[in-house]
């Protein structure tokens, strides 16, 4: 069969999946901080932030991401009751 999409190289094969998966795996492998360090940091951050905000510790998310060739630690910290506002303010 004469496949136009193939001819123009537009189809997305499994190599793109491989590349994307590799990109993320390498970020984790290269990160000099160990999983233990991340766990410890997570606990400390929760403690500090809890002084000011009521947060949902079950829904917390910490991950390494690549952004413009740099690695960033991205934290998603849901606040339980926004109306309460900032504690102690």
Contacting residues toward other proteins, per CB under 8 A = 6-9, 11-16, 18-19, 21-23, 25-26, 29-30
Location of structure tokens 């190289």: 9
Q: Of 5 and 51, which has the nearer Cβ to other proteins?
A: 5
Tokens of 71: 């690695």
Tokens of 38: 């991340």
Question: Residue 65 phi/psi, 5° resolution?
Answer: -135, 155
Q: Of 11 and 44, which has the nearer Cβ to other proteins?
A: 11
**What's the closest the beta carbon of residue 9 comes to other proteins, in angstroms?**
4
Q: Of 12 and 86, which has the nearer Cβ to other proteins?
A: 12
Task: Return the closest-CA partner of residue 56 out of 39, 76, 77, 40.
Answer: 77
């Amino acid at each position: 069969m004469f496949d136009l999409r193939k001819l123009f190289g537009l189809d997305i094969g499994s190599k793109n999946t491989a590349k994307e998966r590799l990109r993320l795996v390498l970020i984790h492998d290269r990160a000099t901080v160990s999983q233990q360090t991340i766990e410890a940091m997570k606990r400390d951050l929760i403690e500090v932030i809890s002084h000011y905000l009521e947060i949902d510790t079950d829904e917390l998310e910490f991950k390494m991401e690549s952004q413009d060739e740099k690695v960033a630690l991205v934290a998603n910290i849901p606040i339980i009751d926004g109306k309460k506002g900032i504690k102690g303010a």
